[in-house]
Structure 1
Amino acid sequence: MTSYDKPSLTMSEIEAVLRKHFGTGATEITPMAGGNLSSVFSFVHEGKGYCVKFSDLAGAYKTERYVSDLLSGQGIPFPKCLALGKTGRLAYAIMERIEGRNLADCTEEEQARQLPDLMAILTRLAAVKVGATSGYGWIGPDGNGAYASWKDFVVAFNAEDQTGTFWENWHDLYRTSCLEKDVFEEIYHRLMDYVPYNESYRGFIHGDFHQWNILSDGTRITGIIDGNCMYGDFLVDLAILDRHMPRSGVVGKYQDVQAKAGIALPNFKERLLGAYYFKGLDGLRFYAKMGWKDAYQGTREFLLNLK
């Protein structure tokens, strides 16, 4: 089990998909960086920017359309989904393109200046109205979570049997990669100790809230993209951002913003620890699969030293 290869397409295959939805006139079709599981291309039609994403994973993008409608309908700067379809074995989604570049491409100083914007978006994500939906964990195309409780989701997500998913046969990583079984199991046991603190909170979680999924014009945040969206404790998104911007004091700034707004954060420390363990454990497995040894080692040390 080695790193995952994104689907490859010829230019004529991409052009055929765009012709189906736009007729002629799509220009500047250009591969985009980012996206670990999708092949993404930007293009222009009648002066407006769009992107098209292709994936060979089952059910890809149906949930993204639900999330797109949910977030853009509540004023969160997330791309509108314009079309879904299939071409051969691949699913595709056509989205509006939000102007800006990855926040990761900004200097550290520029990123720091945009922290108030990031705190505002995190606050708005936590307040997303999820309506009459139910369940925890991965959001399905119908808007419901896949599991009855956060604990059920955590157990299932880390179970050995992941048939038909990105994690099928993931226990092979213990033999074929840098993933260490004793370390994984230690973090998993710690995670389960903190599950009770997180499981009474059910909000929207972007699930991949970091600089490569955040767009900026250099002075302000213009939008957020992608996501491994789920229902659970919204502090998961804070934990992700803090791990990707470790020198920015993200956690303290978030607490200050919430305190000024009169928003209570009960059991904050325990919930944040649960969030670190949840995302960190996922990170260990992912970095091992992708062969990113430095990211694996950094995450391993961070998790083992948490108190």
Structure 2
Amino acid sequence: MSPSTGFLGFPARLPDGSPRAVLFGAPHGSTYPGADSIGFAGAAAAIRTASQADASFLDSWDFDLGGPLFDGRAPCCTDAGDLPTSDHDNAGNRRLIEEKTRAILAASAVPVMIGGDDSVPIPFIAGFADHGPIWILQIDAHIDWRDERHGEPMGYSSTMRRASEMPHVAGIVQAGIRGVGSARPLEVETARRWGSRLVTAREIQAEGIEAAIRHIPEGARVVITLDCDGLDPSVMPGVAARTPGGLSYQQAVALIEAVSRRGRIAGFDIIEFHTPSDVDGITALTAARLLVNVIGRIIRQV
């Protein structure tokens, strides 16, 4: 990956070697038997491409952030490129993602991962084992609490179930839930019994983002995992399961900002961008802008 093709033109490394945030792509995770993840594998490349139009405007005023991206500081983010994952090497993919996450945290930087399907957050969250406790804010149409599916316990229907079993995960807030997915009454009961706060899209529409943010303790270190289908398909059509009634771009941006003000963004991933389903690059553009907001809030964290 050349410096010009990194997200917003970010280099692979900084001269002083001290980035605030490190982006990386995770094309593949834990694929179900008989399925493939090819539709998600190009997400990082598409988002990087969508960001290039703004790469020359890093010093311009960003009205989402209330100032330039780096807020008067020197550029301090890198893009490490994509991990060498491969379809159906489930254990190998998880190892690569967890190791990369641990390495970024060991360097005192914030890991920002671009997936990949919704199985890639499992090893990403596992990588925080030595940096807990953490809370998780999941923005998603689905709760992902299946114990297994098709005999695979690490797939995209089990993400929050596996996270709940990690000792360093102190709490989970799931925002934007709506419609029908693979969750049965048993999964909903299991999630609630564990203590996950399930916040529907209708609740956020009625009460605002406070319906979700109030469940996160002051000062918490939070990993945000954003499934593209958490937003409305009019904003992010490039998903495998379009579900009407999702969050708006501004609601997602407000949630990101609120987390950074209430506590700290300890990590972020954006996943489930199914590139063949995108329409005129809308999903890639929206995803790139969400990443800009995440990076800007990380920069502004004290």
Could you say which TM-score interval applies, normalised by the shorter chain? under 0.3
More RCO (CA 8 Å, sep 6+): 2
Give the TM-score normalised by the residue count of structure 1. Answer: 0.25
Q: TM-score, normalised by structure 2?
A: 0.26
Q: Which has the higher helix share?
A: 1
Larger Rg: 1
